[in-house]
Structure 1
């Protein structure tokens, strides 16, 4: 009759490793050398638990996260090409939030879900999200120096009739495509006084000045601007969702 084996099980209780022993004496043959070895679970990205974030604590938690885990750029990978994006230092809440969700893999489960050719491409949503995430908002960080030129990265906003503070969405971001405009056209569309330098950018690079002062711009594409046009040219359904998904994978550049 085969004897039972005394086995040692290690588990975590209250943050400490606890050793639990079974009964009996060990008389088992060890596994063969070529037996499959169980793989260790993938490391968890650092930062706060996404299910605990709320409107009341992001102002405290996100700056702390950015100090502990800084980064300046990300690369947005798509089937139509890659976009290298610089994140601005003077919009720390939006920057920290974007880096946190990118590292946690949230954006890797999303697609570009609203594409308006000549205007903007918007991403951050999906029908297949598995990572638990609460819905919270970010206080606006609207800076006059950051405007909606072609390639600008901004954060979307919803429920404007119930959102007088212009709080940003936590997940829905967009890249500006826009079009080239004369200084007169750009100034007429803008909700604020444009500088001569901004008028020149709108004339030579293009953009959407009607969004200025209304949404937080927290970064810009520094490589891969042409990818915006490729995504914007995708056929879309009546809801502006591309008929063939444009998946998103975001790599944080350290």
Structure 2
């Protein structure tokens, strides 16, 4: 005796339930491990130098790449300015600079970055002790740290996050010597004459690196239209990659 056929819908449901494997439950990927180094919100004028020196010894680095929409710059960081170097590496690895732009551009002088209107990473405002080394001068492509509140900053303490690249201009030896306000070596005068720079900044700001590839990117950024505050009318975003 034949059994009555199952209704079509019930048969389909039974087939689907018995014949298809269950889909695995999707889970969110684990969060990335925290970037090692001092808490940026805990750094102060009194502890920054010691903590950054220790960080630089534990997590060294020598080169970075600055990525922008106008091209990339490969930058060498100097070993004999350890606090500034370690500070820059720390902020780069923690993504601070990736939330900033070139916010002050003066053609024929320098392009400055490190600020923005959309920073989300919490960071304390601390200063760095000056590490002014005579052989590191403000030639074209030099990387230095800015400074603020000069009337309240007799010690020439550097900003913690505002940096600049020198564009400058070519100068005769007499011009560069007069602008520097200090004795320049023959080699420094030759570089200012053949490559250019901004000798008026020598001895006043810490230079802690230099562009070794992509100098033309400085010129491209310097040529961007700017507003009355020298901020480019179209943001030049920054993304910094620390090379192994």
The TM-score, its normalising length taken from structure 2, stands at 0.90
- SS at the partner of 1:137? coil
Q: Does 1:187 align with 2:180?
A: no
Instruction: Give 1:177's aligned residue.
Output: 167
Equivalents in 2 of 1:250, 1:42: separation in Å? 18
Which whole-Å deviations, capped at 9, do the CAs of 1:129-175 have from their partners, x for residues lacking one?
Answer: 00000000000000000000000000000000000000000000000
Equivalents in 1 of 2:145, 2:37: separation in Å? 21
Residue 82 of structure 2, aligned match among 58, 77, 92: 92
Runs (4+) off by over 4 Å: none
Instruction: Give 2:134's aligned residue.
Output: 144
Equivalents in 2 of 1:99, 1:252: separation in Å? 7
> Following TM superposition, by how much is the alpha carbon of 1:32 offset from its aligned partner in structure 2, in angstroms?
4.1
The structure where helix makes up a greater share of residues is 2
- SS at the partner of 1:115? strand
Instruction: Give 2:234's aligned residue.
Output: 244
Equivalents in 2 of 1:138, 1:48: separation in Å? 15
Equivalents in 1 of 2:154, 2:208: separation in Å? 20
Instruction: Give 2:212's aligned residue.
Output: 222
Instruction: Give 1:17's aligned residue.
Output: none
Which structure would you say has the larger Rg? 2
Give yes or no for contact 1:191–1:211 (8 Å, CA) kept in 2: no
Q: Does 1:105 align with 2:95?
A: yes
Give yes or no for contact 1:186–1:199 (8 Å, CA) kept in 2: yes
Equivalents in 1 of 2:22, 2:212: separation in Å? 54
> Following TM superposition, by how much is the alpha carbon of 1:43 offset from its aligned partner in structure 2, in angstroms?
1.9
Unmatched runs of 5 consecutive residues or more in structure 1: 1-30
Instruction: Give 1:18's aligned residue.
Output: none
Equivalents in 2 of 1:232, 1:36: separation in Å? 48
Equivalents in 2 of 1:71, 1:95: separation in Å? 8
CA RMSD of aligned residues (A): 1.0
Equivalents in 2 of 1:46, 1:127: separation in Å? 26
> Following TM superposition, by how much is the alpha carbon of 1:33 offset from its aligned partner in structure 2, in angstroms?
3.3
Which whole-Å deviations, capped at 9, do the CAs of 1:57-115 have from their partners, x for residues lacking one?
Answer: 01210011011100000000000000000000000000000000000000000000000
Bigger relative CO (Cα 8 Å, ≥ 6 apart):
2
Q: Does 1:167 align with 2:157?
A: yes
Residue 110 of structure 2, aligned match among 115, 120, 135: 120
Instruction: Give 1:13's aligned residue.
Output: none
- Worse-matched range after superposition: 185-194 or 225-234: 185-194
The structure where strand makes up a greater share of residues is 1
